[in-house]
Amino acid sequence: MIKKFFITGTDTNIGKTIASSILLKKATQAGYKTIGYKPVSSGCEKKSYKFLNNDAILLRRNSSIKLSYREINPISFIENAPPHILSQFQENIIKKEHLSFGLKNIVKKSNWIIVEGAGGWYTPLSYKDTFSDWVKQEKLTVIIIVAIKLGCINHAILTEKAIIAEQVKCGGWIANNIYPKDKYNLCYIQTLLSYIKAPLLGIIPYLEDTKKINFQSIKIKLP
């Protein structure tokens, strides 16, 4: 059975890629053939004469099945701005079929797939479709990454309610401590446990250097 998950977040820059990388490593250790897929990205850096997205690089590095960069990240934009706006300026409209084509290729080669979105649940792909429309079409199970900070309670509750309203399965949520712990961090998480219906899969501690992650020390359950 092929397992396919979509990673969304309560905002942008809240650790979706770190959480995705940890899940990929855990699934690999459990014996799955894993691939991380970043269908659409914005914000690339020049590396070896090519412009590449750092999130896609991390997903590729932490997948057990090695694919080409373009298989992992088929649609990318150099500037760091909403993809649908960049695609409009470049007259290259993103269509749901583009994302599905890449996913079909990945499904042939693995049995445990993480699809990382961009931004939050309703991030637009175009002026017609959002990521949520595509996730619903592909019947992916969603995992919410919650950045533990002021405002996260409201954002997390709204995100889960929106997912449920779309009749999409929410497989769980992960709390990510993006700032050093303060006296309220555990209170945020405890409050979310009272409101979020999906199970808490784990808590990522504050990582001062995200390039040096001890995957073994982070306790996250596979959905």
Question: Which positions make up the binding site?
Answer: 13-18, 42, 55, 116-119, 176-177, 205-207
The DSSP secondary structure of 126-193, one letter per residue, reads SSS-BHHHHHHHHTPEEEEEEE-STTHHHHHHHHHHHHHHTT--EEEEEEE--S---TTHHHHHHHHH
Task: Indicate the annotated binding residues for Mg(2+).
Answer: 17, 55, 116
Task: Indicate the annotated binding residues for substrate.
Answer: 42
CB contact at 8 A, 170 and 157? no
- Residue 165: which of 122, 201, 119 has the closest Cα? 122
Active site residue ranges: 38
Task: Indicate the annotated binding residues for ATP.
Answer: 13-18, 55, 116-119, 176-177, 205-207
Nearby residues of 76 by Cβ (< 8 Å), 6 or more positions away: 40, 41, 42, 44, 51, 52, 53, 56
Cα 77 to chain center, whole Å? Answer: 17
